[in-house]
Structure 1
């Protein structure tokens, strides 16, 4: 009686399916599949010296990043729809006493001031990055992006995209608590 021959090529389709299914599962279960890792985590925050004043008070300085307490640095623009969507979360955090430094990115100053007049101004300090140089130094690739900064000026967390209640509760608040 002849034994059926076993062909290794018969295993190839199910094996390829298993590999692709595993890759798809990994991609879909990541917290933020669009997030690129930041080389700045654990390093001193880049300078804010290139920003210019957007309000009557001075633009933020590097000293603002090393002031007591945990700070958030938020890059935003008036032309950015997701920035408008996240703005209530920034207002809520500021009302709770969280210090937020704003960097208005590649925006017309009049439009930025109108945006803040309409939606509120949650920023303890705010500067304008009209050329995008500061954004490049911070490694942003779009707005909004938010960074959690330790009292010594070290970057603890970077969140690309709009802040939602879920992101604030799962990512920002734990990072802030760990830094305090």
Structure 2
């Protein structure tokens, strides 16, 4: 019988370790979900500038007693175009949505809203991306559900589709309203 050398055990042990990691990773609820350190915490400051002559907002408006969405978007963002009709539908239902135009130029942002419509109750511009960093943005679009006290209930990274509205946004809005 051949003698087993310790180095011969290394490849099978590495394989078993990797297999265990993959198995654990596949057990997560939503493998595409990006965690948010803000959930349950007061929303960070909103340091934004007005966008054209559109109604502006600031951080104090996030704690006005009403549930709302904060949506980060940009005119150069293709997924932002995809989600836009869904944001307009939510706004038509009476959902208050504040828009933060992220790392964009004002003329292009205003043209985007002129072309596609404006679902936002108020809009601010984050031209240098500082507010996006404070909010932990990975990119645009990203949407945050904010409760009436100004706390982040949930965050969704990516375009808000009908499926996302039903599976994530609407339940978070209802949960925030019930608190």
TM-score, structure 2 as length reference: 0.85
* In structure 2, distance between residues paired with 1:52 and 1:117: 19
* Cα deviation, residue 158, structure 1: 0.6
Give CA deviations for 1:65-97 in whole Å, capped at 9, x if unaligned: 012321100000000001111111100100000
Q: Which of 140, 144, 148 pairs up with 1:143?
A: 140
Aligned to 2:159: 162
What runs of 5+ residues in structure 2 fail to find an aligned partner?
none
* Cα deviation, residue 21, structure 1: 5.5
Contact 1:70 1:149 in 2 (8 A): yes
* Cα deviation, residue 63, structure 1: 2.0
Q: Call closer, same or farther: CA 1:111–1:32 in 2, change over 3 Å.
A: farther
Aligned to 1:80: 77
* Cα deviation, residue 179, structure 1: 1.1
- Matched positions, count: 175
Q: How does 1:34-113 map to 2 (within 5 A)?
A: 35=34, 37-48=35-46, 50-113=47-110
* In structure 2, distance between residues paired with 1:73 and 1:119: 18
Give CA deviations for 1:116-158 in whole Å, capped at 9, x if unaligned: 0110100001000001011011110100000000000000001
What runs of 5+ residues in structure 1 fail to find an aligned partner?
none
* In structure 2, distance between residues paired with 1:154 and 1:34: 20
Contact 1:27 1:33 in 2 (8 A): no
TM-score, structure 1 as length reference: 0.84
Name the SS of the counterpart of 1:156 in structure 2.
strand
Give CA deviations for 1:5-37 in whole Å, capped at 9, x if unaligned: 9x8x9x9989877765665466567525262x1
Contact 1:147 1:158 in 2 (8 A): yes
* Cα deviation, residue 47, structure 1: 1.2
* In structure 2, distance between residues paired with 1:159 and 1:145: 6
Q: CA RMSD in A?
A: 2.3
